[in-house]
């Protein structure tokens, strides 16, 4: 699905649905946050820790009310299971990447934004950021199921199926996936989207979110991963690994960065550049994950460490060696940052995310 190629009919339908058929608020139900935060445009020394210390509580509080409207008594169990995994912690990298990508383009048009509250500054993009975290959490719940990785520890807590049973965990994941689309559509105020063709931009984002989860996204990457697990690890090539992780891991970071850019008013060609950046940091993310799996403890990771070796999985460390994997992560990060070379300090946020991804400890 390409930017701005939707028919007038589909765009009108979305506008109508957004404003009429859904008798629902387009304002996110969250507490007011008045903190202002560093702008990627006005500061040449962007500090990711400072940015995270201010945006992460905002993301957490928005997530914590994201399913509130569904909490009628009959839905108590499934909503609890969904919230259990959604609010179990996590680095929130995908929402943060989405917000930073939005800033990169939005700041070109509106340099006064650091004066705004977080709600105001991010009202066009926050529903998509929430949607991304719902999709990511769904993928973690499903990834941990007995029929997949069969893991009992995630984000430092027992996995969803351990607490709620496999049946409810499957449904909690499914429900998070469907809520993700509902949330982005329902709570994105179309007039606040930057650039022309605002409704088409939201449709484009929703289409891309869908594509990122399907057979040429998370699900396809996971199936290829499962197929490779059935082979001797020496039969799995670096190209196989690259395909798996471009779809299983990089796809969500790619749609996170692309969505932020689209809602921030980016042109089609700029969205493509940000996507290439995100594919590279997505692969670097997986290389770092493989390194951490064999160098960090379960306590540090919040998930079972050493699992890859335990199940004889083909990983970047196995194929390239530990030092080779470290060099590959650095190479991918350098190449990613190269994709942003035509931008100045407004891209410092995304550059900082790229560095963080390979230097993280969990």
How far is 302 from 151, CA to CA, in rounded Å? 11
Near ligand GRG by CB under 6 A: residue from 143, 275, 279, 293: 143
The minimum distance between CB 51 and ligand GRG, in angstroms, equals 17
Least Cα distance to 131 among 255, 266, 268 occurs for 255
Does residue 251 belong to the site contacting ligand GRG (CB under 6 A)? no
Q: Where are the alpha helices (DSSP H) in the chain?
A: 8-16, 48-64, 76-86, 93-109, 118-121, 126-143, 160-164, 166-187, 198-213, 218-229, 238-248, 250-263, 268-295, 298-301, 307-310, 316-338, 348-359
- Assess 241 for contact with ligand GRG (CB under 6 A): no
Give the residue at shortest CB distance from ligand GRG: 90
DSSP codes, 69-95: GG--GGGHHHHHHHHHHHTS----HHH
> Which among 305, 144, 313, 287 has a CA at the least distance from the CA of 228?
313
Q: Which of 3, 78, 140, 357 binds ligand GRG (CB under 6 A)?
A: 140
Within 13 Å of residue 146, how many CA atoms lie on the same side as its CB? 6
Asked if residue 253 binds ligand GRG (CB under 6 A), the reply is no
Q: Is the CB of 199 or the CB of 278 nearer to ligand GRG? A: 278
From candidates 142, 254, 273, 280, binder to ligand GRG by CB under 6 A: 142
Phi, psi of 154 (to 5 degrees): -150, 135
Instruction: Decide: 184 and 205 in contact? Cβ < 8 Å.
Output: yes
Q: Is 204 one of the binding residues for ligand GRG (CB under 6 A)?
A: no
- Residue number, 156 or 189, with CB nearest to ligand GRG: 156
Cα gap 209→350, rounded to integer Å: 20
| Closest CB to ligand GRG among residues 73, 230 | 230
273 lies in the site for ligand GRG, by CB under 6 A: no
Of the listed pieces 90-98, 99-107, 197-205, 260-268, which binds ligand GRG according to CB under 6 A?
90-98
- Report the DSSP beta bridge partners of residue 154: 157
Q: Which of 248, 254, 318, 326 binds ligand GRG (CB under 6 A)?
A: 248
Site pattern 274..293 for ligand GRG (x: CB under 6 A):
------------x--x----
C-alpha–C-alpha distance, residues 59 and 107, integer Å: 20
Check binding of 169 to ligand GRG (CB under 6 A).
no
Q: Residues 17 to 56: which contact ligand GRG by CB under 6 A?
A: none
3-state secondary structure of 254: helix
121 binds ligand GRG (CB under 6 A): no
Rule CB under 6 A: say whether 170 interacts with ligand GRG.
no
Shortest distance (Å) from residue 248 CB to ligand GRG: 5
219 lines the binding site for ligand GRG (CB under 6 A): yes
Return the residue of 155, 208, 254, 313 that touches ligand GRG, per CB under 6 A.
155
In whole angstroms, give the CA distance from residue 86 to residue 108: 33
Stretch of 50-58, 89-97, 122-130, 178-186 lying at the interface with ligand GRG (CB under 6 A): 89-97
Binding site for ligand GRG (CB under 6 A): 90-91, 93, 136, 139-140, 142-143, 148, 155, 213, 218-219, 222, 248-249, 286, 289
């Amino acid at each position: 699905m390409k930017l701005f190629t939707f028919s007038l009919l589909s765009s009108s339908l979305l506008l109508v649905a957004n404003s009429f058929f859904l008798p629902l608020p387009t304002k996110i139900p969250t507490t007011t946050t008045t903190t202002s935060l560093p702008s990627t445009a006005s500061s040449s020394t962007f500090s990711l820790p400072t940015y995270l210390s201010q945006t992460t509580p905002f993301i957490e509080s928005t997530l914590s009310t994201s399913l509130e409207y569904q909490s009628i008594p009959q839905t108590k169990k499934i909503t609890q299971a969904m919230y259990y995994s959604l609010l179990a912690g996590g680095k929130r990298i995908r929402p943060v990447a989405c917000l930073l990508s939005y800033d990169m383009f939005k700041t070109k048009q509106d340099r006064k934004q650091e004066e705004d509250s977080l709600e105001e500054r991010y009202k066009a993009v926050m529903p998509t950021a929430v949607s991304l975290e719902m999709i990511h959490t769904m993928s973690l719940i499903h990834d941990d199921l007995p029929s997949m990785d069969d893991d009992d520890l995630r984000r430092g807590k027992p996995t969803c199926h351990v607490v709620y049973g496999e049946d409810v965990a499957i449904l909690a994941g499914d429900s998070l996936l469907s809520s993700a689309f509902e949330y982005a559509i329902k709570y994105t105020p179309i007039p606040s989207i930057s650039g022309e063709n605002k409704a088409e931009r939201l449709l484009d984002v929703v289409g891309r979110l869908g594509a990122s989860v399907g057979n040429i996204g998370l699900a396809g990457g996971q199936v290829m991963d499962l197929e490779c697990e059935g082979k001797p690890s020496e039969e799995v090539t670096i190209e196989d690994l690259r395909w798996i992780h471009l779809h299983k891991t990089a796809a969500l970071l790619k749609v996170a960065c692309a969505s932020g850019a689209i809602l921030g008013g980016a042109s089609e060609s700029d969205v493509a550049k940000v996507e290439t950046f995100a594919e590279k940091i997505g692969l670097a993310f997986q290389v770092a994950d493989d390194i951490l799996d064999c160098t960090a403890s379960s306590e540090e990771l919040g998930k079972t460490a050493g699992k890859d070796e335990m199940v004889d999985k083909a990983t970047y460390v196995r194929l390239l060696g530990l030092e080779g994997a470290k060099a590959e992560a650095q190479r991918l990060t350098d190449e990613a940052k190269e994709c942003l070379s035509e931008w100045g300090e407004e891209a410092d946020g995304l550059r900082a995310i790229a560095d963080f991804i390979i230097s993280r400890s969990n």
